[in-house]
Amino acid sequence: MRAAWICVVVAVLMLGSGKPAVAGRFLFGTAETIHHLQDVGLKGPNSEELYLGYKTSVVNFGAGLYVSDDGYVLGIKGDETRYFQMPAAAALARLQQARLLPDPLPAYKLDVFDYLIGYSLWIILAIVIPFYMLRDRFLARRRAASTTLPSARNEDLAAPPAIQGEHPDDARPGEAVRDIALPVTLYVKRSRMLLYLGLAVIFVVGSVSAIPSRPDIAYLGIVFFGAGAVAFAVQLHPKSAYLHLTADGFVMRNLFRSVPMVAWRDVSRFFTVRMKGATMVAWNYAPGYGEHGAGRAIAKAIAGAESALPDTYGMKPDDLADFMNALRAQCVQGRPS
């Protein structure tokens, strides 16, 4: 952009002409806006009337990711999309001495509207995500008295051939579930993983678009959101994350890593707890279970439970806890599976 302000000086000296830069507004990419400060006696290379202003840039991906203050510019009256860069220090001093530009330059600061537009994507997410979370919780409570346990073969999940058995359709929260065919495999809800993946990809693309203006923040965003996108994509694989239930116990798998089987006889009971703003299904171990005593005590002191399932697998937490308790009762008491 150095050639632009050189043209301003050349115009003042009546030695040539230049071409102004162009500002624009975009839903994707960088949008530049020129803000008027005051009129000046300086004219452009084609005798355009100029004014002193400042420029802001908003990096957008549908809405604003962030806003930056780009400093003073010389705007063209009657044209909000074009501007000249300010001349360098020596040329600026000469223009100020000639009283073509104010000395000192007037102070300014970004207003509330600039920040609202510049960070509008984050504001939208801060409103929309809690709204849907609260809405889903409200609707879930309204349906809690009459909602049946969902099938283990969630319709929006890809079920591999290894799955055997499914939840009984007539089972209700609080009722004993009898003679459940085992083994049963529950999977994470694919629609939720797709939502998280889509959001992560949006932020990766937005971070890439910010590289020219803010490479430090851009690369940090690419690494952070890129890692999240990979993790969510991996969760979509049917063998990556699931809960496998057998007559002996259950196995939890997450990101292709399985933990040792937890035997039904080693569980005291299943219940729900709040952890990091989410409701999870947890359990305490039965009296006499002696492994990992220190770790279990720490976990119980922090979270109120000795261990927990990493997901609810498309079920409501209370329903899943009831289902797990019914399975435990069936298997521990030696009911046929």
pLDDT in tens, 8-34: 333 333 223 334 454 444 456 788 888
Which range in 38-47, 127-136, 168-177 is most confidently predicted, on average pLDDT?
Answer: 38-47
* Choice among 1-5, 107-111, 121-125, 241-245 with the minimum mean pLDDT: 1-5
Last residue of a domain, one of 62, 94, 115: 115
288 located within any domain: yes
* Choice among 144-158, 205-219, 265-279 with the minimum mean pLDDT: 144-158
Q: Are residues 159 and 257 in the same domain?
A: yes
Q: Are residues 147 and 69 in the same domain?
A: no
Q: Are residues 276 and 143 in the same domain?
A: yes
260 located within any domain: yes
State pLDDT tens for residues 42-64: 888 888 899 999 999 888 777 78
Residue 106 to residue 237: CA distance in whole angstroms:
59
Q: Pull the structure tokens for residue 10.
A: 């050349």
Percent of the chain with pLDDT over 70: 74
Considering only residues 267 and 179, tell me which one the structure prediction assigns the higher pLDDT. Answer: 267
290 located within any domain: yes
Last residue of a domain, one of 94, 115, 136: 115
Q: Are residues 83 and 154 in the same domain?
A: no
What average pLDDT does range 299-324 have in this prediction? 87
What pLDDT does 118 receive? 83
337 located within any domain: no
Last residue of a domain, one of 82, 115, 148: 115
Q: How many domains does the chain have?
A: 2
User: What is the residue range of 27's domain?
Assistant: 2-115
* Choice among 68-72, 93-97, 282-286, 287-291 with the minimum mean pLDDT: 287-291
Q: Are residues 192 and 328 in the same domain?
A: yes
Q: Are residues 166 and 264 in the same domain?
A: yes
Q: pLDDT class for 176, splitting at 50, 70, 90? A: very low
122 located within any domain: no
Q: Are residues 97 and 55 in the same domain?
A: yes
Q: Are residues 101 and 147 in the same domain?
A: no
What pLDDT does 16 receive? 30
Percent of the chain with pLDDT over 90: 12
Q: pLDDT class for 141, splitting at 50, 70, 90? A: low
223 located within any domain: yes
Q: Are residues 78 and 201 in the same domain?
A: no
Q: Are residues 295 and 169 in the same domain?
A: yes
Residue 315 to residue 272: CA distance in whole angstroms:
13
Q: Are residues 293 and 194 in the same domain?
A: yes
What is the value of pTM for the model shown?
Answer: 0.46
Mean pLDDT over the full length of the chain: 75
Q: Are residues 313 and 176 in the same domain?
A: yes
| Residue 199, pLDDT above cutoff 60 | yes
213 located within any domain: yes
What pLDDT does 48 receive? 86
120 located within any domain: no
